[in-house]
Every structure is written in C-alpha cells, then in structure tokens.
Amino acid sequence: MRFCISCGEKNSEEVLYCTNCGNSLSDVQDKTSMKIEPKLSAQKKHRKKMTKKQKWIFSISSVLLLVLAITHFVLSSIYEPTKQISAMNDAYNNQDKDAFFQEFEVKEGTVADAQNFYAIVKEYGWTNLRNQLTYEVERIMNNENPDIIYNGGEFISVHSKPILFGLYDRVEFIIIPTEVFIYAPFKNMTLQFGDKEIVSKSDEENVGFGHYIPGEYAWSYSYEGGYIPLADEGKLMLEAQADNIAQIDVDWGFQTVSVDSDLEDAILYVNGKSTEKKVSELRELYPAKLNSKIEVYAQSQDKDGKTVKSDVLPLDSDTIYLPFEHIRTEQKLAEHEDIIRDIYKNFRSDYSSAIRYTNFDYIGDYFREGSKIKKDYAKFVTDHDNIPGYNYEFLLNEIISFNTLSDKQFELQSYETFNYSSDKEGSINYERKKKYIFSFENGKYFIDEIVDLDTKKTKL
C-alpha cells in the first residue's frame, strides 16, 4: 500500500502515479513506515546528544563514586589497628600524655586522667604493653578471641567494635577500672578520694566511691562529730587488684588522750568550743589525734563568782593537765605557809640553842647576809657571855596568824612564853606577841624583821 505524499490518496503497490492527483509515487512511503521512521530518527537523535540535566546527574554520580572510594580508603586507613598502636607509640615517646590517653577508651562513669594513666603505663613498661597490644590485635585479625592484659588485676581489654552498619571494624583498647571502697569508722565522716567527696551515713560503713583507673590519687577525711576535730590527708598509688576491687585502708592513727585539771568541775573547751562536759566527765578523749594546732583549756568560776580560765595547751601529748593560775597561786601560797610555819618552829628551836651556847651560828642562815637584823641578833646572842648566871626556859611558841603580803613576802604572828633568870635580875616570866616578816627569793626563805608587838613581864 502506497500513499500519495501530495494528496494522501491510498494507491496500490502496482501503480506508479497517484490515481487522484497524478503525482509520481516514487517518493511515497507506506503508512507504517511514515509513522515509525520519524520515531527511530528521533531516538537516534536523542542518544547522540544529552540534555543539561542528564549531564548534571552523570557528573554528580561520578563524583559520588569517587568520594565513596576515597572515603573507603580513608576509613580503612583510620580504623587500621596497627596505625592506632603506632599513634600510641609516637604520643608516648613524645610524652604527650593527653594524646596517648585519647587512644584508649574508658567505661562511662570511670574516673580517669591522662597523667595517672601515663604514669601507670610507664611503671608497667610501654614496650611490654605495646607488644601485648600488637599480639592481641593480631589475634583479632585472625578471627581469634583476644585475652585481657593483666597488671596485678585486669588492666586493658582489646576487642573489635563494628561501625557504620558493620561495614568497618574498629579495635578498641579499653582501660579496665578498679572499684574503690574506703572504710569509715564513724557516721558523718567527710571522705574524699580524688575529686569525689562522700559523707558516711553510719558507723563502720564501707563507703563506695565508684570506678577509677589505676594511678596516684589524693585522699582526705575530716570528722567534727567528736570532742576533738579530726582531719588528715595524703596520696596513694591505686593499683589494680585481682578482683578489681580496692579496699583503701586509711591509717587513722586515733589515740586516747587523758585529761585532768586543778578543777575537776571545770568545763572543757576545744578550739574555743565548749564540750559541755566537765573534766571529771571526760577523763579520756577518743577518738583523738595529736595536733599542736588544736588548743585545749578548761573554764570555771572562782570563789568570788568570776570566770577563770586554765592555761591554754596544745594537743601535742596523750596526757593533758590543765592548770588554773589562781589555783596554782593558792597552792603555792599554801606551800609557802606550810614551809614558813616549819621554818619558824625550827628557828625558835635553834634560837634556844644559840642563846644557851652563845653561838650565833645556830641561827645565822635564817637572815640575809649583811642585813641589819642579822647584825643585831648576832650581837644579842654573843652579849649573853657578859650576863652572869643567865638561863632561859622556853615554854610556848604558838603561831597566831599567817598572812600573804605578796607572792614573795609573808607575815607570821606568834605568841611566845618563856622564863628568864640571871644573877642580877632574878626570875621573870615573859609573854610576847611578835610579828615575823619572811621573804622568798631564789628558792630560799629569809627572816627580814622580828617585831615585838606586845610584852608582858611577871616577876617570879
């Protein structure tokens, strides 16, 4: 079937000219050909020339493929475990503690720092650790199960971790921590380990501080719940334990301090704070630690109702005696009185001998050297050599009173009786009231004055 290209008339295959318009049918094509040919021609034309959009898509796809290839190469390089160990080695040798520590992982909540980890690795031996890490990595690459590296206890674990939906594996080097406990003997003790501070909730509590990597840590404690404030601090090297649990044994060093005072009813004070307890109620202080910065004293009232305070003493001995100055003064004065009373009695006895034997040496030491009273009594004694037939019979030497004039001067009054006789005067009974002034100097007592206050003579 042929179609005229001029009028479109359908003609048979045998005719050479259109039966309608007479036009030559040499340029005629069949209908099917006319419909298909342009399509084929268009398709050929489309394949030969791409649109801008097609070109853009093609370019983007090419770039993405290149980026993926590069990313794969980079990630494969990043997650290459031998390069991780090489980075560790460089950081360690350069003493870059932070960079070295960053190559390792720690479990969440673990207390860790670069300084501590570097120190513990240095002690362990980096070459030894590096070789062990390399060996465990090789086991992973050979699809074998790695072993944990030990250092007293579990130290470092090595394992493979899938990333990016399992397309890659990253080898992780995990530092295994140690769980720390500190025993607190008393409730409300403030304990500190590292940067963590915890207050104990009960007596004899084993306080858990959490997980720490091995290394050096500072510790401290304070306790205000007793009569004596307690505190101490120090540093210790935390080492991995067989079960990765460390029980920190603090050397508390608690002592018992014995306390006594001149006044047992006085209230005891520590660092200016009242214990609200009498000395008699706190014979022993526990727990305590000797500390010269802690001051202890007692406080009471004297007989006049005035507040009196003992000496303030540092807590530097396990035996504390708190003296009160006014008590010590009273005690010292009482000692002076007892001693002077005895001196007076001895003087009267020695005076009797000196008169009887006219020998001043018996009483010479009772007076100050070169004093007037010493000269007067020396003359009085020796003058008896010139009294014919004299005789003394000492009857009574009674102390009437004793008064403290100062901490170094004292007054004693006496009532003395004796019978005196001589060839010239006959027999006479004497009754005398006297005043003696004693002084205390450089550990010695002297008679400074002897004054007749009243004398009664009776002829016998």
Residue 239: inside a domain, yes or no? yes
Q: How much of the chain, in percent, has pLDDT values that exceed 90?
A: 67
User: Please, what's the largest Cα pairwise distance for the chain?
Assistant: 215
Question: Which range has the worst mean pLDDT, 152-161, 254-263, 358-367, 368-377?
Answer: 152-161
If asked whether residues 235 and 300 sit together in one domain, one would say: no
User: Are 3 and 9 a contacting pair, CB within 8 Å?
Assistant: yes
- pLDDT higher for 170 or 212? 212
Regarding whether 373 and 404 lie in a shared domain, the answer is yes
pLDDT at 6: 67
Nearest-Å Rg of the Cα atoms of the chain is: 58
Distance CA 166, CA 46 (A): 43
For residue range 440-450, list pLDDT tens digits in order: 999 999 999 99
pLDDT at site 249: 86
91 and 161 in a single domain? The answer is yes
In a shared domain, residues 141 and 168 = yes
- What are the E-state strand segments in 240-290? 245-248, 255-261, 267-270, 273-278, 284-288
Q: Distance between CA atoms of 366 and 387, rounded to whole angstroms?
A: 25
**For residue 228, what pLDDT is reported?**
92
pLDDT digits (tens, 9 = 90+) for 269-286: 999 999 999 999 999 999
Residue 86 per-residue DSSP state:
H
Q: How far is Cα 413 from Cα 433, in angstroms, rounded to an integer?
A: 7
Asked whether residue 427 falls in the same domain as residue 354, the answer is yes
Q: Which domain holds residue 6?
A: 2-48
Confidence of residue 352 (pLDDT cuts 50, 70, 90): very high
Answer yes or no: is 65 within a domain.
no
pLDDT tops 90 at residue 78: no
Chain Cα centroid distance, residue 382: 78
Tens digit of each residue's pLDDT (9 = 90 or more) over 136-186? 999 988 888 889 999 888 999 998 876 654 455 678 999 999 999 999 999
Tokens coding 50: 């791409």
How high is the pLDDT of residue 170? 79
- Better-predicted residue by pLDDT, 97 or 53: 97
- Judge whether residue 374 has pLDDT over 80: yes
357 and 454 share a domain? Answer: yes
For the entire predicted model, the pTM comes to 0.60
What DSSP string runs through 311-359? --EEE-SSEEEE-BHHHHHHHHHHHHHHHHHHHHHHHHHHHHHHHHHT-
Report residue 82's pLDDT band, with 50, 70 and 90 as the boundaries. confident
Q: Are residues 336 and 419 in the same domain?
A: yes
Domain closes at, from 143, 175, 207: 175
Q: Is residue 36 part of a domain?
A: yes
208 shares a domain with 224:
yes
- Whether 22 has a pLDDT exceeding 80, the answer reads no
Whether 197 and 148 map to the same domain: the answer is: no
pLDDT of residue 25: 66
Preceding peptide of 287 cis, ω within 30° = yes
E-strand ranges in 176-301 read 178-184, 190-193, 196-199, 205-212, 215-223, 230-238, 245-248, 255-261, 267-270, 273-278, 284-288, 291-301
> Quick check: is 67 in a domain?
no
Contact of 177 with 195, CB cutoff 8 Å: no
Cβ burial, residue 426 (10 Å; 0-12/13-18/19+): exposed
Report yes or no on 123 lying in a domain: yes
Q: Name all contacts of 309-317 with Cβ < 8 Å and 24+ positions apart.
A: 310/261, 310/262, 310/263, 310/266, 315/228, 315/257, 315/270, 315/288, 315/290, 315/291, 316/290, 316/291, 316/292, 317/257, 317/290
Of 220, 248, 276, the last residue of a domain is 248
The pLDDT > 70 percentage for the chain reads 83
Q: How far is CA 267 from CA 2, 64, 151, in A?
A: 138, 88, 56
Instruction: Tell me: pLDDT of 350 over 60.
Output: yes
Whichever domain contains 364, its CATH number is 3.10.450.50
Whether the per-residue pLDDT at 214 is higher than 90: the answer is: no
The stretches of 49-113 forming alpha helices (DSSP H) are 52-78, 81-93, 97-102
Q: Is 186 a member of any domain?
A: yes
pLDDT of 237:
87
Does residue 241 sit in the same domain as residue 274?
A: no
In this model, does residue 24 exceed pLDDT 70?
Answer: no
Same domain, 334 and 424: yes
Q: In the predicted model, is pLDDT for residue 356 greater than 90?
A: yes
Mapped onto helix, strand or coil, the DSSP state of residue 237 is strand
What's the mean per-residue pLDDT of the chain?
86
| Residues 226 and 265 grouped into a single domain | no
Identity of the amino acid at 325: E
End position of a domain, from candidates 175, 205, 225: 175
Q: What is the mean pLDDT of residues 239-257?
A: 88
Nearest partner of 454 among 423, 419, 413, judged by Cα: 413
- List the helix and strand counts (H, then E) for the chain: 8, 25
> 316 lies in a domain?
yes
Residues 156, 143 contacting (CB under 8 angstroms): no
Cα end-to-end distance, the chain, whole Å: 202
Number of domains making up the chain: 5
